[in-house]
Amino acid sequence: MSVNKLDATIITIGNELLIGQTIDTNSAWMAQELNNIGVWVHRRIAIGDIWKDIWQSLEEESKLSDIILITGGLGPTADDITKPLLCQYFGGKLVVDPDALANVKHIFEVFLKKPLLERNLKQAEVPDICTVIQNKRGTAPGMWFEKNGKIFISMPGVPHEMKGMMINNILPELQKRLQLPPILHRTLVTAGIGESFLAERIKDFESTLPANISLAYLPNYGMVKLRLTTRGNTPKMVAEMEAEFDMLKQQVSDVMVVDEDKSIQQVVADILLKKQQTLATAESCTGGFIAQMITAMNGSSKFYLGGVVAYSNDLKQKLLGVSSETLAKYGAVSRETVTEMAEGIRRLSDSDFAIATSGIMGPDGGTPEKPVGTVWVGMASRLEAEAHPYQFRFDRQRNIELTATYGLNTLRKFILD
């Protein structure tokens, strides 16, 4: 079956999603993976564990989308109603799947070493009119249904289990059946310019884009991504996309961070790895957030030596060597203090580069001279040190995130210079 375009809807089920107790990461990951094989996600919907709401969503989305992917509601408790609902919706009856039953027994006997309850055994039951998707990472099998030319796929809500089914079963099967032209994206990242000013700068470029190529603006934490999108991968389409992307890069060359869809921490990591140099961090106001961003990346140990969270002035002196005279004269939030913090952690770790932060994140603690949102970011190398001020105006968490993002981008330029 070869088609030009297919739309999908992702339905995530669970009251915990609606009250914010659980953050829905499934939809974002699934949307990216579907996009990679040429399936456009038309809608993403979160609904509670309510029978009529789930039923209504299936009815409505099957009119709009070709593929409906569902996560959640397949557990062993009374509030997990997805499986019996799907059984009734598609007109089937529940039967025990032998492979699913063997999987449940194996998990309980070998890994959990606990007795099987009746409710656990029932997880091996599936509607007799579905294609069973075995769960190699858990006890609840997935289910594949087809009705009126539409595909419905139900998976567990546990991200690790859902991803296993998507990677090993669902995505390969969709690719084999549908033979879709891929969706091509080319993305660059800018910093130091707002979305509206960026749009004004490239308005002529945008107005002359070919009809088959679209431009999207994606602002986030002081940076704006520009993404070109088209569908298809013929040599002519790829060449046209690359030509337009080269023109876009020329338009924003002075504010471009990278011509790929990468995070700022990954950009810094790439530079350090290429130069075979190292980094250490000294954080006050960011409380280890920069270190967390860096160490969340695979392979960060190849360039990141470690860091210190020196929140108090006493620790700034004892661990980082900030002088008492500097703190007394200029205060913790100052050019002088962050410079000494960066130099101190660089010496302590013997790293090639260091970054340090100090600021007033709020909501309290500001003064007329240093209001809430005042931040200093310091950097040091083996040859020199410098510091830069920033003034943010948001809540505490966003101020922390902005400090980390702006700080890492400033570090990027410091290393390159």
pLDDT of residue 1: 46
Q: Name the domain count of the chain.
A: 3
Task: Give the domain extent around 136.
Answer: 6-178
Same domain? 174 vs 188: no
Whether residue 359 contacts residue 338, with contact meaning beta carbons closer than 8 Å, is answered with no
Q: What is the pTM of this model?
A: 0.80
pLDDT of residue 140: 95
Give the pLDDT confidence of 13-52 residue by residue, as tens digits: 999 999 999 999 999 999 999 998 889 999 999 999 999 9
pLDDT of residue 3: 52
Same domain? 386 vs 331: yes
Which of 258, 273, 296 is the last residue before a domain boundary? Answer: 258
Which of 243, 258, 273 is the last residue before a domain boundary? Answer: 258
**Is residue 1 domain-resident?**
no
Distance of CA 212 to the CA centre of its chain: 27
Report the chain (417 residues): mean pLDDT per 10 consecutive residues. Answer: 74 95 95 92 95 97 96 92 97 96 92 86 95 96 96 97 97 88 92 94 97 94 93 90 98 97 97 98 98 97 98 97 98 98 98 98 94 98 98 95 96 96
Same domain? 336 vs 269: yes
Same domain? 165 vs 52: yes
d(Cα 111, Cα 102) in Å, to the nearest integer?
Answer: 13
Same domain? 162 vs 193: no
Same domain? 271 vs 210: no
Whether residue 77 contacts residue 83, with contact meaning beta carbons closer than 8 Å, is answered with no
Distance of CA 105 to the CA centre of its chain: 35
pLDDT of residue 203: 97
**Is residue 115 domain-resident?**
yes
